[in-house]
Amino acid sequence: MRDANPAQNNQAVHLKDYAPVPVTVTHVDLTFRLDPQATRVLARLTCERRGPGDMVLDGEALRTIRVALDGAEIAPEIEGDRMILRDAPDAFVLETEVEIAPERNTELSGLYISGGMYCTQCEAEGFRRITWMLDRPDVMATYDVRIESDLPVLLSNGDEVAQGVWRDPWPKPTYLFALVAGDLVAEADTFTTSEGREVALNVWVRPGDEGRTSYAMDALKRSMAWDERVYGRAYDLSVFNIVAVDDFNMGAMENKGLNIFNSRYVLASPETATDADYANIERIVAHEYFHNWTGNRITCRDWFQLCLKEGLTVFRDQQFMQDMRSQAVQRIGDVMTLRARQFREDAGPLAHPVRPESFVEINNFYTATVYEKGAEVIGMLRRIVGAEGYDRAVALYFARHDGEACTVEDWLACFEEACDVDLAQFKLWYSQAGTPHVEVRDSFNDGLYRIDMKQVVPPTPGQPDKAPMAIPLAFGLLDTAGNEIRETEVHVMTQAEEHLTFEMAERPVLSMLRGFSGPVMLDHPMEDVDRLRLLAQDTDPFCRWEAGRRLAKERLIAAIGEDVALDADWLDAVAALATDATADPAFRALALALPSEDDLAGSLHEAGVVPDPDAIYAARRHAQMAMAERLSSAIPALRDACATAGQYDPRAEDAGKRALSATLLRLQTFLDGGAAARAAYDAADNMTDRMAAFACLLEAGDESVAARFESDWRHDRLVMDKWFAAQVSHAAPRDAVDVAKRLTAHSLFDPANPNRVRSVLGALTAANPAGFHAPDGRGYRFYADWLLRLDGMNPQLSARLSTAFETWRRYDADRQALISAQLDRIAATDGLSRDLSEMIGRIRG
């Protein structure tokens, strides 16, 4: 547990106050004597003075046994979480011995125990919970680590020198340190790098999980080859270890040479994992591997620069996934994620720049803005300078900054030099929060086609006024027959208002923001016929999908609370897409999916309308029913055409067919009350098909399927996470809170396991908004009770879950009052963590 010292703990840190350390650490020698309740950590820090001033070390929840300077014991000056060393010499060795209790570490930060194995999580500031150190990313040191334990597998960073003895020759910050000890088994393989280095690869799991690692291993090897081929980056140690742990706050962690993963992003078999799980494994394995260069070899000077490694590495994992799978489908999926999470964040009280200027708790800034918008910023840069310019700039970045802790300025300077561009205005993407609105109006007169563009960046907390941004707008023009008459070009908009003109014989159809060329909200009114044209014929798959989405959204919004019939034109277009055998099934599945309830609520709010969660839910059901009726006679044959040949294969092509089949089964369930879904459930030979059918049956109100699923899968924790989540997600809104309550009382519900917690609480808020927003406020009360309870165990988890309340000002006065009462109750609770108290403070605004 955190030391209660709010006066010291709740101070904000500011980017502008950055100062380098006066005394640094160049080498770290660590000995661990592992014990669940009393682990001893002996540290020998080789220190060097770089300027005048005191050395201030970080330490948290440590029992300090001994401190010595150059061999002589000293009485340290310890104030809360800091140890201050005054008048340190120019070069010296600082030794400390501390005791920690991994078994009692429920925060899952520092050294803890998960499923019987010791493991660590040090990003962002967990190393200080292991030993005294300068726990900040601009202090880079080499490490020697000795692990003393009877456990058979003892791992740390770098190369193995002897059993339990590891040496990492690459200087790294504390946050990349890792240790694992346990009774583990590995799938082993090798990879030979382009530089001729033989690398031993291992995916370590608990006994019983072997046989579920081959996809992760395969993804790792493809990632290594891809980074060599596309970025010219080869791996740099003799071994690369991945370890799967069950209790983990995030997805995975890129510790040097020893990546630690949430087990749900490693373990997969056809019987237990869905296509979405496989895709996540591929993406996250790649992401963590890519960090070896973008994050580890070149790291961040301070935590304000987090996007430097995360935005870039997300961009790289997106590029990788586009190369491995369908480029179009991948891009659409990434845009959906960005809008669902980042636009929502940017539109509310938690909006912050890609590079924040201050924080109280850095863990609260591992956000969609830093990650996903950070990746969009890299993508825009690449569009502006072109693919070759991008490659030159990135090569310069690696050459110039290898081994350093850098800033966004260092990164941008490489582009300015390599590409001879001025990025002064572009840099606003890092400092101005909020999603720019781009208004586009076009007109045709006398052979002149004119596009008028206006940009507005809305105010966000602490930033009332914004300057115009540099926005790359990719667009193309089609004739009214749907033929492309001007191929994609990129116009970089820099002024608040601009226009473009073209001479042409007839009025064209504008395909704007191709490939989603910038993270903006586009306001471009268009006749239905033109949208239908784009949907049917645009050469840009993103704009095709987007046209369909706009049409669907306009209809849903019109139908909310109105019960209006859906027009035949739209339903015909939907049917044409569904039955278009020439189109990629994955694309058709995406195009048939309606905007989410949260997306609709956000759009209504944008338009100045107070969203009613129940009416939104009803309107979506109504539209699905209309789609189902329109397609009814075609569905069986369409689903047959989705059948895949042979054994389950997670590749994108087959996954796309299963996705389309699942979408159609969903519609079918509206017509047959679950008959087809029951057959599909019984016939399923893989978890993707099984979960699709399970969801349909839950929505159809099937009384027995949950019990049957449970008795089949009780023993499997990852599958049971799905069982918990599905029941909450697919409950009727009026039942959702009761279902969630009942599930938190289930014998397999474990509040110490973040995956299990998210499978109930996360599912309620993300997948069942009409349930969460029950008008009597019982969803809010239930949720706040859990936030408080979890906060005592795991503040990172409670703080992250609290973002469910970030949209509270969208809703009606009654709901706002109910939520506000819960926020007040949380804020007034004694002993709130720094994490949750910062979040609740910001959400209340």
Cα 787 to Cα 801: distance, rounded to the nearest angstrom: 7
Contact 542, 334 (CB under 8 A): no
Q: How far is the CB of 109 from ligand PHE (least distance, A)?
A: 8
Nearer to ligand PHE, 143 or 366 (CB): 366
Binding site partner of 168, from ligand PHE, Zn ion, none, Cβ cut-off 5-8 A by kind: none
Strands, E assignment, 173-328? 179-182, 185-192, 198-205, 239-245, 252-253, 258-262, 299-300
Count residues near ligand PHE (CB under 6 A).
11
Nearer to Zn ion, 137 or 602 (CB): 137
How far from 559 is each of 247, 618, 663, CA to CA, in Å?
Answer: 44, 9, 22
Q: How far is the CB of 13 from ligand PHE (least distance, A)?
A: 17
Phi, psi for residue 627 in degrees, rounded to 5: -65, -45
| DSSP assignment of 398-419 | HHHHTT-EE-HHHHHHHHHHHH
Q: How far is the CB of 286 from ligand PHE (least distance, A)?
A: 11
Q: How far is the CB of 814 from ligand PHE (least distance, A)?
A: 37
Cα 493 to Cα 280: distance, rounded to the nearest angstrom: 35
Cα 260 to Cα 275: distance, rounded to the nearest angstrom: 22
Nearer to ligand PHE, 372 or 791 (CB): 372
Contacts (CB under 6 A) with ligand PHE, residues 518-537? none
Ramachandran region of residue 784, left (φ > 0), alpha (ψ -120 to 50) or beta?
A: alpha
Q: How far is the CB of 117 from ligand PHE (least distance, A)?
A: 17
Contacts (CB under 6 A) with ligand PHE, residues 218-277? 250, 252-254
Q: Residue 197 is inside which H or E element, if any?
A: none
Which parts of this chain interact with Zn ion (CB under 5 A)? 310, 313
What stretches of 700-732 show up as alpha helix (H) in DSSP? 705-713, 717-729
Q: Count CA within 13 A, CB hemisphere, residue 754.
A: 25
Q: How far is the CB of 364 from ligand PHE (least distance, A)?
A: 11
CA 288 distance to own-chain centroid: 12
- Give yes or no for residue 366 binding ligand PHE (CB under 6 A): yes
Binding site partner of 520, from ligand PHE, Zn ion, none, Cβ cut-off 5-8 A by kind: none
Binding site partner of 791, from ligand PHE, Zn ion, none, Cβ cut-off 5-8 A by kind: none
Which residue has the CB atom at the shortest distance from ligand PHE?
250
Binding site partner of 252, from Zn ion, ligand PHE, none, Cβ cut-off 5-8 A by kind: ligand PHE
Sign of CA dihedral 324, 319, 254, 224: positive
Binding site partner of 366, from ligand PHE, Zn ion, none, Cβ cut-off 5-8 A by kind: ligand PHE
Nearer to Zn ion, 310 or 372 (CB): 310
Helix 568-579 to helix 585-592 angle (10° resolution) is 160
Binding site partner of 599, from Zn ion, ligand PHE, none, Cβ cut-off 5-8 A by kind: none
Q: How far is the CB of 291 from Zn ion (least distance, A)?
A: 6
Helix (H/G/I), strand (E/B), else coil: 61:
coil
Nearer to ligand PHE, 233 or 730 (CB): 233
Q: How far is the CB of 835 from ligand PHE (least distance, A)?
A: 12
Nearer to Zn ion, 313 or 802 (CB): 313
Binding site partner of 125, from ligand PHE, Zn ion, none, Cβ cut-off 5-8 A by kind: none
Q: How far is the CB of 738 from Zn ion (least distance, A)?
A: 37
Binding site partner of 123, from ligand PHE, Zn ion, none, Cβ cut-off 5-8 A by kind: ligand PHE
Biggest CA–CA distance in the chain, Å, is: 90
Cα 313 to Cα 321: distance, rounded to the nearest angstrom: 12
Q: How far is the CB of 260 from ligand PHE (least distance, A)?
A: 8
Cα 459 to Cα 436: distance, rounded to the nearest angstrom: 10
Contact 517, 507 (CB under 8 A): no
Peptide linkage before 181 cis (omega within 30 of 0) = no
Contacts (CB under 6 A) with ligand PHE, residues 97-156? 121, 123-124
| DSSP assignment of 346-408 | HTSTT---SS-SEES-GGGG-SHIIIIIHHHHHHHHHHHHHHHHHHHHHHHHHHHHTT-EE-H
Q: Which residues contact 279 (CB under 8 A, 6 or more apart)?
A: 321, 325, 652, 655
Q: How far is the CB of 558 from ligand PHE (least distance, A)?
A: 40
Pick from 298, 294, 299: nearest CA to 319: 294
Helix (H/G/I), strand (E/B), else coil: 132:
coil
Q: How far is the CB of 600 from ligand PHE (least distance, A)?
A: 30
Can 606 be counted among the known catalytic residues?
Answer: no
Helix (H/G/I), strand (E/B), else coil: 470:
coil
Nearer to Zn ion, 233 or 658 (CB): 233
Q: Out of 288, 372, 376, 654, name the contact with ligand PHE by CB under 6 A.
A: 288
Cα 57 to Cα 64: distance, rounded to the nearest angstrom: 13
Nearer to ligand PHE, 250 or 823 (CB): 250
Binding site partner of 121, from Zn ion, ligand PHE, none, Cβ cut-off 5-8 A by kind: ligand PHE
Cα 731 to Cα 733: distance, rounded to the nearest angstrom: 6
Contact 779, 773 (CB under 8 A): yes
Nearer to ligand PHE, 253 or 840 (CB): 253
Tokens of 401: 């900054």
Nearer to ligand PHE, 363 or 432 (CB): 363
Nearer to ligand PHE, 261 or 805 (CB): 261
How far from 751 is each of 244, 247, 534, 667, 727, CA to CA, in Å?
Answer: 19, 11, 48, 35, 18
Tokens of 192: 């030979």
Q: How far is the CB of 636 from ligand PHE (least distance, A)?
A: 43
503: β partners = 448
Q: What does the radius of gyration of the chain's CA atoms come to, in whole angstroms?
A: 27
Binding site partner of 160, from Zn ion, ligand PHE, none, Cβ cut-off 5-8 A by kind: none
Binding site partner of 702, from ligand PHE, Zn ion, none, Cβ cut-off 5-8 A by kind: none
**Number of Cβ within a 10 Å radius of residue 478:** 22
Among the listed residues 97, 125, 288, 372, the single catalytic one is: 288
Binding site partner of 281, from Zn ion, ligand PHE, none, Cβ cut-off 5-8 A by kind: none
Cα 216 to Cα 252: distance, rounded to the nearest angstrom: 13
Nearer to ligand PHE, 287 or 555 (CB): 287
298: β partners = 294
Cα 777 to Cα 168: distance, rounded to the nearest angstrom: 53
Nearer to ligand PHE, 123 or 721 (CB): 123
For ligand PHE, the binding residues (CB under 6 A) are 121, 123-124, 250, 252-254, 287-288, 310, 366
Please give the positions annotated as active site: 288
